[in-house]
Amino acid sequence: MISLIINADDLGSNTDRDRGILEAFKHGIVTSTSLLANGPSFITAVEQVKDSSIPVGVHLNLADGSTLTGQIKGLTDDGLLPGKQKLRQCLAAGACDRTAIRNELAAQIERLFDNGLQPGHLDSHQHCQLFPCLTTMITELALEYDICAMRTTLPTEPVEQDLNGSLGEELTLYRRLGRNAHTTIIDAGFKTPDGLWGMPFLNRLDTNRLCNLLESLSEGFWELMTHPGYPFEQGGSFDGPQRQIELQALLSVEAKEVIARRNIRLCTFGNLPCAS
């Protein structure tokens, strides 16, 4: 059997993104979402989660916006989280205050509980959990807060599909770090998919690519990472028209037909089998 979690990342980043995610859950094929505890639209997103009953995880974030716990030495020296590249440089060099980072990640998890949500999984913004120091830290936090499932950032598409340029460099990093991170998650006893689909299609997932991806799935428990939404005029380059193109793909009749014909079971992190 092919079992597939279709997770929408970045709930809480802005109200237009949130609106698209909830539409993709109610009327499309999205089965769960990941919520930014320090996102600008967190409060309204919490109410939407409650109203819709969409399964939710914590999208742990050390890259963008503000922290919940104040300054993290070596990471927020300018007052804000430093962005993807500077975060990775800091993690690779071991130059961050790890105790402060752990306190921040714990605060992000607790904020969902404090607002009446029961997160079913953990994943991370910009895949920072791939770095060994954070993989171990996040598994420890998952145990502490009794969250039994985690994303595995292990690309599943053939390496031949990797692009040149910055996205290709990203995928090289994910493939280099992903296997060890996957093993760490499994060894700690967490539920996790066999692999993650969709990373080569970041910011370019349309209906045709989505259908081709669904046609290529083999037996197993998989996650497809998605980023649906509506364009947000005050946002950055990732908040443009592509968000709505991705939303339309996840709402499309064509994608639903492939799922039905191939008997793909849409599921959530809660449906994953226990780690062996």
Instruction: Express each pLDDT in 178-203 by its tens digit.
Output: 999 999 999 999 999 999 999 999 99
Span 2-271: which CATH code?
3.20.20.370
For 213-250, write each residue's pLDDT tens digit. 999 999 999 999 999 999 998 888 899 999 999 999 99
CB atoms within 10 A of CB 181: 26
CB atoms within 10 A of CB 174: 19
With beta carbons less than 8 A apart as the criterion, state whether 69 and 104 touch.
Answer: yes
Please give the average per-residue pLDDT across 145-170, as a whole number: 90
- Whether the predicted pLDDT of 21 surpasses 50: yes
The band of 45, judged by pLDDT with boundaries at 50, 70 and 90, is: very high
With beta carbons less than 8 A apart as the criterion, state whether 47 and 116 touch.
Answer: no
Task: Output Rg (C-alpha) for the chain, integer angstroms.
Answer: 17
What is this structure's pTM? 0.96
Q: On the CB side of 125, how many CA atoms lie within 13 Å of its CA?
A: 25
With beta carbons less than 8 A apart as the criterion, state whether 28 and 224 touch.
Answer: no
The CA-to-CA distance between both ends of the chain, in Å, stands at: 18
Please give the average per-residue pLDDT across 96-109, as a whole number: 96
Q: What was the pLDDT predicted at 276?
A: 46
Q: Can you list the positions of beta strands (E) in 54-102?
A: 56-60
